[in-house]
Amino acid sequence: MPSMEDLRIKKTRHAIENAMMELIELKGYSKVKLIDIANRAQVNRNTIYLHYESKEDIALSILKSSYGENTFTSDIDSLFERRIHKSDLYSFFEKLMNKVDESIELYRIFLTDNSLSGYSINIISTIQTHLKKYLVDSPNNTNRIIYILSGIYGVISRWVIYAKGSNVDIVKELTDLTYSNIFKLELKR
């Protein structure tokens, strides 16, 4: 059973993150200040610094809770730990797109706000680093994985920003594009 302190911490973090999201929708990310978040969450500004390092840290926390990093990496692990079948890849993209769709406004903010542009590079880099445990360390693999990840990112970005295509169509397209390229990777045995 969680302690009262744990519950209080969760409640405070939830209030701060909700305030941040509400303010982003009202003002846009770049115009949101920590004092605005504190006022809306009804906490002291110093309380925010007990839980987060910066406004960007709050935003990243919101995004990570949308599709947990551990869930994402374990989904990747399950793909690579056995022979990859197209149906497994389809299920992976279906789950990913459903998660993105649940928080599409949040993802749209991250993809369109210039002050958060480093997030995309960070995500691709994190996934690339995680994949190294499955791939032979070679320039060809590095180039191929960057190509695959950039393509996936581009297709999802286009869908989120411009609402082009249905979720089902995007999942099918991502599956087909990735499946045709994934077998060119040299896997560790």
Specify the DSSP element, H or E, that contains 182.
Answer: helix 167-182
With vertex at residue 168, the alpha carbon angle to CA 60 and CA 98, rounded to the nearest 5 degrees, is 30
CB 29 within 8 A of CB 59: yes
pLDDT at 68: 58
Q: Architecture of 4-63 per CATH?
A: Orthogonal Bundle (1.10)
pLDDT tens column, 112-154: 877 676 777 777 888 888 888 888 999 999 999 999 998 998 9
pLDDT at 170: 92
Q: Which residues contact 179 (CB under 8 A, 6 or more apart)?
A: 84, 86, 89
Instruction: Give Cα separations from 49 to 13, 62, 150 (angstroms).
Output: 11, 16, 34
User: Taking the CA atoms of the chain, what radius of gyration do you get in angstroms?
Assistant: 19
pTM for the model stands at 0.75
Pick from 54, 78, 179, 51: nearest CA to 134: 78
pLDDT tens column, 43-66: 999 999 999 999 988 988 887 776
**Token pair recorded at residue 2:** 């969680």
Asked whether the predicted pLDDT for residue 14 surpasses 90, the reply is yes
Instruction: Give Cα separations from 163 to 21, 80, 170 (angstroms).
Output: 21, 30, 11
